[in-house]
Structure 1
Amino acid sequence: MQRTSRMKRELMLLTTEPPPGITCWQNGGQLDDLRAQIVGGADTPYEKGIFNLELIIPERYPFEPPKIRFLTPIYHPNIDTAGRICLDILKLPPKGAWRPSLNISTVLTSIQLLMSEPNPDDPLMADISSEYKYNKQMFLKNAALWTEKHALQSKENLAAPTQGASPPSVCTSVSSQKRQGASVPGASKKACLGP
């Protein structure tokens, strides 16, 4: 019951005050199965890309973190080919940094920040991490090519939410949290344990 009322509040807030460049909605009217879209940040190789994510909310939420993966392929040191994300707030302590005070909005904002600022020292993809560290130009080129191939879409092609959820609105001007100086609590990018 606690999870249901909290999820309803979180979804209402995500609908009325979404973080810049992020939308989230219920998939098929289910509170434990969500979809989200993150618009790639300006001045990154993901710029103008629209990245779809799947969020599965566990029974014990908020005492357990949501399970999140990218559905859109992305070329990134901390996101593998299955879409799994290396981010400490997606794991429970002691090796992770999840805490019940965090919410879906914070997690999605942290993932958006990770897209802009990869952590090559704690990778899921060793080859991409090495390229990011030692051949940045090649990394930027490959990441931009993947974005062009997999994430550039017109509004008509976006996955439409079902059962009464409002369709995601796509923000074209994404303000970077980095430029605004905003810090996301618990969003350090350490303690990658893989899947």
Structure 2
Amino acid sequence: MQRSGRMKKELEMLSKSPPYGISCWSKDERIDLLQAQILGGEGTPYHNGIFTLEIQIPERYPFEPPKVRFVTPIYHPNIDTGGRICLDTLKMPPKGAWKPCLNISTVLTSIQLLMAEPNPEDPLMADISNEYKYNKTLYVENAKQWTKNHAIEKNVSEENPVKAKSITDTGVKRTQPMCDVTNKKARDS
């Protein structure tokens, strides 16, 4: 019962005032399965990419963290090829930092920050972590190529054909979810 009420409030909050560059919605009208999209940040190798994530809400939520994974392939030291994410806010203490006061918005913002600032000291992908630490130029090139191949334009609409639509943004045509992942209202305020 607690999960249901909390999720309704969180989804309403995410709908009315999503964090910049993030959108989230329930999948198939279920409160235990969500889908989110994060816009790759400017100045990162993920810029202009739209990354889809799947979020499973456990029965004991908020006392247990959600299970989050990337559906869109991403080249990142803390995210493996299965989309699993190494992030302390997604783990229970003592090794993790999950607290019941955290929410889906906080989790998605933390993932967005991790995309911008990888943690090579706690990697899931040792080879990408070494590349990040010792040959950052190559890491950036590879991450940009993966973004181009998997998270830009046609690839996004194939992942999520129901939610996607084509828009023109600064003269560049790309696919974006129907929710405004750029959170234009907040940016224009």
Cα distance in structure 1, aligned partners of 2:178 and 2:29: 13
Q: Does 1:169 align with 2:175?
A: no
Amino acid at match of 1:54: E
Q: Is the 8 A contact 2:20 2:183 kept in 1?
A: no
2:62 counterpart residue number: 62
Deviation of the 1:172 alpha carbon: 8.4
Cα distance in structure 2, aligned partners of 1:20 and 1:119: 22
Q: Is the 8 A contact 1:48 1:172 kept in 2?
A: no
Amino acid at match of 1:171: T
Task: Calculate the TM-score normalised by the size of structure 1.
Answer: 0.83
Q: Which has the higher contact order (CA 8 A, sep 6+)?
A: 1
**Alpha-carbon displacement from aligned partner over 1:22-55 (angstroms, at most 9, x marks no partner):** 0000100000000000000000000000000000
Runs of at least 4 residues off by over 6 Å: none
Count of aligned pairs between the two proteins = 170
Q: Is the 8 A contact 1:49 1:147 kept in 2?
A: yes
Q: Which has the higher strand share?
A: 2
Give the 3 Å change call, closer, same or farther, for CA 151–172 of structure 1 in structure 2: farther
CA RMSD of aligned residues (A): 1.9
**Alpha-carbon displacement from aligned partner over 1:128-182 (angstroms, at most 9, x marks no partner):** 0000000000000000000000000259826235xxxx94223288x9xxxxxxx
SS of residue in 2 equivalent to 1:99: coil
Give the 3 Å change call, closer, same or farther, for CA 151–127 of structure 1 in structure 2: same
Identity %: 63
Q: Does 1:7 align with 2:18?
A: no
Cα distance in structure 1, aligned partners of 2:8 and 2:153: 30
Amino acid at match of 1:170: V
**Alpha-carbon displacement from aligned partner over 1:57-87 (angstroms, at most 9, x marks no partner):** 0000000000000000000000000000000
Give the 3 Å change call, closer, same or farther, for CA 97–172 of structure 1 in structure 2: closer
**Alpha-carbon displacement from aligned partner over 1:68-108 (angstroms, at most 9, x marks no partner):** 00000000000000000000010000111000000000000
Q: Is the 8 A contact 2:40 2:51 kept in 1?
A: yes
Cα distance in structure 1, aligned partners of 2:103 and 2:150: 28
> Which consecutive residues of structure 2, in runs of 5 or more, have no partner in the other structure?
164-176
Cα distance in structure 2, aligned partners of 1:98 and 1:18: 21
2:51 counterpart residue number: 51
> Which consecutive residues of structure 1, in runs of 5 or more, have no partner in the other structure?
176-195
SS of residue in 2 equivalent to 1:30: coil
Cα distance in structure 2, aligned partners of 1:156 and 1:78: 22
Cα distance in structure 2, aligned partners of 1:27 and 1:2: 19
Cα distance in structure 2, aligned partners of 1:20 and 1:155: 22
Cα distance in structure 1, aligned partners of 2:54 and 2:128: 23
